[in-house]
């Protein structure tokens, strides 16, 4: 889709990547359920360290309904798994549009 993507194997690695690439990252796509630091905790920590970051959350679990509701109430976009490439493209495009309007 033409985006530059950085990968992290878990939440701790994502924190390190964002710290190392300070200012180079506009959007973090994170799963709610991950080993170690979950997506909601990751976003909370990253928001403190890097207030300019925006988030797109995804999940395939039905057990995280309360977390999902909190994310939506905060105005963060959410993508339900499974999703198509077109769904992902649209969600990223919309999330980035918000990034560039608010930053």
Q: Write down the domain spans for the chain.
A: 11-102
User: Using 50, 70 and 90 to split pLDDT, how confident is the model at 66?
Assistant: low
pLDDT top residue among 14 and 40: 14
**Is the model's pLDDT at 7 over the cut of 80?**
yes
**Is the model's pLDDT at 94 over the cut of 60?**
yes
What string of DSSP letters covers 40-89? Answer: HHHHHHHHHH-TT-EEEEEE--STTHHHHHHHHHTT--EEESS--HHHHH
Interval 31-60 mean pLDDT: 90
Residue-level pLDDT at 1: 84
**CATH number, span 11-102:** 3.40.50.2300
Instruction: Spell out the residues 6+ positions from residue 65 whose beta carbon is closer than 8 angstroms to its own.
Output: none
């Amino acid at each position: 889709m033409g985006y530059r993507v950085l990968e992290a194997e878990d939440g701790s690695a994502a924190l390190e990547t964002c710290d190392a690439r300070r200012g180079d990252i506009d959007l973090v796509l994170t799963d709610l359920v991950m080993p170690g630091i979950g997506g909601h905790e990751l976003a909370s920590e990253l928001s403190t360290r890097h207030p300019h970051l925006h988030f797109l959350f995804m999940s395939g679990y039905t057990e995280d309904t309360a977390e999902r509701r909190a994310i939506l109430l905060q105005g963060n976009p959410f993508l339900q798994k499974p999703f198509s490439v077109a769904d992902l493209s649209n969600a990223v495009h919309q999330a980035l549009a918000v990034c560039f309007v608010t930053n």
